Structure 1
């Protein structure tokens, strides 16, 4: 039955997303209505590549590709596992929510792609290199110290630098092989107070450095946030990479900020930036740029335009950024499509797509005390303005104390699923939008299969989540109450759909899912 649902969802997706009844002739903002923050972008010939932040997720540092700046697909990740430490493994009560790897920097230099990032979890800076950005393999370099929100830069004289820091920005020259800070050198102050162009009473000081060189001059983009104001772009310019730099306020509208510059093959320029937009996360916007007196001037009369006449219409997020999955695999298919990520490093011994053809099986490997500590939660982004996920779950092999289902994952999570208690199965809705998770409703379940559904409404930052279930895949029954979703800083990520199974008493029980369908 879930295959039929997925087919129908595909048809709906085609009608609503791929072939709308009235096709707009131009791109609209936001470009991507999903959590794709900390953008870094390059163009190689006529192809754009973009990296982003997914922090504690595995695999990590997604690489996206586009031919037109509007329609993107995930083509790679820099790593499967950033590092094996307790926090990234969800071991010994530790976790990496809000941490893991942060803002990356993507570069292309002499036939090689470079993507660098850093992690407060490990205190390291990481650089990944490959000749083939879509197929890999990726080579990993790591070193200390951790360089916060850095920009990797290959200068024309062959030297390699990182610009990094917050408020007081630093510059460090790297070894030619990128294995660390160049021997015999020490990082130097590049700009003492990079927040200054953003105004007084600064809350978030300048960070998110991205450095560019155009017409012989160096341009450094940063984000700052004045108290009581909004996220703001600052730009500094210099004739030499080491400065001195002169700065100015670069852009201030709707809180759209943090990113850099990209040009099209036709010579049009844009700033790629993002906006904090509630529970769905931090969503990308493109803003036109004109060059005036040697400065990039962002915006249309200083504002973010709703439409971009020189860029084509979006064909939608599916299947490039999110996608339905029936869990059927052909011989040479990836085990999991790139739209999927695990919440923290997975335990690969306890999940399978081969144990039952066309089904995902997750087996409990340990006893846990909280949904947020559960190994092997398989996730995808939620997306706006509205989105829904549905799945068919087989609970025949649950053990006493097991909990399994479909979650909306953030610190203030909610889920619908099945609890095994007293030898009986119960359909439950759990709401975690208050101080502690609460079981809002339960109904007895006598069947061994049940359909589950989670709906999200992000319109105008409504940020409402609701859950329902069905025994036949046709007639749905609402369960529980509204989850008031909230983007929290401890998790620092937009909500995710998640499939999970966890034990509270003993291990070895398993649950299977017959695909997951996504729709608007």
Structure 2
């Protein structure tokens, strides 16, 4: 026997090995009974509206609306319908005109590109949208949605709220309309409506399902699917007695009808979307809900089939807990679509993480990640009067139930009349930042929650760098943004007052965190942002 301290004899070692093997085998046998945490609604507690989802093999792809943002028409990817990450954007800029350049008093707020349709056909990914800003219907194609490139085809006019559909015989169509839903056959190359092709009304009035109570939201948001040999047309509408989206589904045995319809879901305004199946044969409806200042947020509803009809939800309701493992979903489900950024640009890497979008078209000559390595540098090139007119404002989504963003800015290169900072951005925005006036810098908190920008607080600033933080609280009510600053990045001091967060139709988008720099007197100044870091809000409500 080995007499060294702490040693064990071979028989004892053999016995322990048997015990450990027994314990391990019991643990393996017990593992399947440990139930994984279920996923929850909302899927993503952030502004991801007008979603379209497809499945290619075991992978899901989702497109959404970001309107006046560039790059635009985001494409997201998932392997479980729950956890989504950014894959690419279908376009860098939608078009080049005064509205998208924020020039001559014009803008594309609440416009740009709207609800998209996403398809996969013969090895090719297709995503389509329409735009009153460009006046066109746009199609983008690629074989690799993660890396692109996306190729564009477009034609006039802008065909609203359409659903692109490839039938089994290879013919391709657009289904579209408001209240009256029509179908038009396209040329095979998507360059326009096919002369002499199928064109007819599929549903004369979506709202007829409400009987005499038809005066509400007119049927829109078409998405067309084929399942088990039948065609299913999904729309939203509401009765005249109230405004709350409901899901309406029509079905037919042939693509051109006749279609019969019914109310498929009427629950808390959760609506607009379509149907998706899993590789295992389960079905779900993907939808969204207006959720105050954070925006329009995605929900998933289980679907069963009865008499050839999809039945959405459980007893007419969208459940908060789902029969899918949560994976890494977390409280907000946003980990794959928002991102902190230290602005460390590595050769060969994308210039900015996909989480970033510019407010309107960017002006590339006036921002840089290489002018000062490790920083995002901005130089102004024009004079504007307010934040909503400022070019090169860089944004990411806020998220619920609460979220925060912080940054640090070197403001030593500012000129008189300049403002730079971090905003909770929408039409009724609020921000904390630095203002240069009469040769002196001051730390300011500005709120436009009354529709007119108001300088609520101002503190003299002597240093050349400052840390700023914005915290957005979406639940419980009231929804507010709070602002603070730090001289050392560790100890934070509140400034001003909470700014009320209000979703406005002119912008038609949930609040965004925004890094900004603009000049009101003389262009040519410069600021450098050191980092952008996100997290949950730490402020008590």
Q: Cα 1:237–1:186, aligned 2, differ >3 Å: closer, same or farther?
A: closer
Aligned residue pair count: 499
Mapping for residues 353-368 of structure 1, pairs under 5 Å: 353-368=369-384
Q: Matched residue of 2:206: which SS? A: coil
Q: Distance in 2 between matches of 1:371 and 1:132?
A: 37
The reply to whether residue 165 of structure 1 matches residue 177 of structure 2 is: yes
Q: Distance in 2 between matches of 1:286 and 1:297?
A: 13
Q: Deviations over 1:283-310 (max 9, x none)?
A: 0000000000000000111111110123
The reply to whether residue 123 of structure 1 matches residue 135 of structure 2 is: yes
Q: Matched residue of 2:221: which SS? A: strand
The reply to whether residue 27 of structure 1 matches residue 39 of structure 2 is: yes
Q: Distance in 2 between matches of 1:373 and 1:146?
A: 26
User: What TM-score comes out, normalization by structure 2 length?
Assistant: 0.90
1:392 alignment partner, one of 408, 411, 418 = 408
Q: Cα 1:360–1:23, aligned 2, differ >3 Å: closer, same or farther?
A: farther
Contact 2:36/2:325 (<8 A) preserved: no
- In the other structure, the counterpart of 1:191 is 203
Q: Cα 1:514–1:285, aligned 2, differ >3 Å: closer, same or farther?
A: same
Q: Deviations over 1:358-408 (max 9, x none)?
A: 100111010001110100000000000000000011100000000110011
The reply to whether residue 443 of structure 1 matches residue 446 of structure 2 is: no
Mapping for residues 491-502 of structure 1, pairs under 5 Å: 491-502=507-518
Q: Distance in 2 between matches of 1:267 and 1:312?
A: 19
Contact 2:54/2:119 (<8 A) preserved: yes
Q: Cα 1:271–1:132, aligned 2, differ >3 Å: closer, same or farther?
A: same
User: What TM-score comes out, normalization by structure 1 length?
Assistant: 0.94
Mapping for residues 420-439 of structure 1, pairs under 5 Å: 420-439=436-455
Q: Distance in 1 between matches of 2:120 and 2:348?
A: 29
The reply to whether residue 344 of structure 1 matches residue 363 of structure 2 is: no
2:117 alignment partner, one of 105, 112, 118 = 105
**More deviation, 167-176/184-193:** 184-193
The reply to whether residue 308 of structure 1 matches residue 317 of structure 2 is: no
Q: Deviations over 1:80-113 (max 9, x none)?
A: 0110011111111100000000000000000000
Q: CA RMSD in A?
A: 1.4
User: Mind listing any 5+ residue stretches in structure 2 that lack a counterpart?
Assistant: 1-33, 537-541
Runs of 4+ in 1 over 4 A off after TM superposition: none
Q: Distance in 1 between matches of 2:139 and 2:476?
A: 38
- In the other structure, the counterpart of 1:225 is 238
- In the other structure, the counterpart of 2:252 is 238
The reply to whether residue 212 of structure 1 matches residue 225 of structure 2 is: yes
1:268 alignment partner, one of 272, 278, 282 = 282
Higher RCO (CA-CA < 8 Å; seq separation 6+): 1
Query: Aligned-pair distance for 1:23?
Result: 10
Contact 1:278/1:461 (<8 A) preserved: no
Q: Matched residue of 1:459: which SS? A: coil
The reply to whether residue 140 of structure 1 matches residue 152 of structure 2 is: yes
Contact 2:417/2:436 (<8 A) preserved: yes
Q: Matched residue of 1:480: which SS? A: coil
Query: Aligned-pair distance for 1:185?
Result: 4.3
Contact 2:208/2:214 (<8 A) preserved: no
Q: Matched residue of 2:365: which SS? A: helix
Query: Aligned-pair distance for 1:315?
Result: 3.1
Query: Aligned-pair distance for 1:475?
Result: 1.2
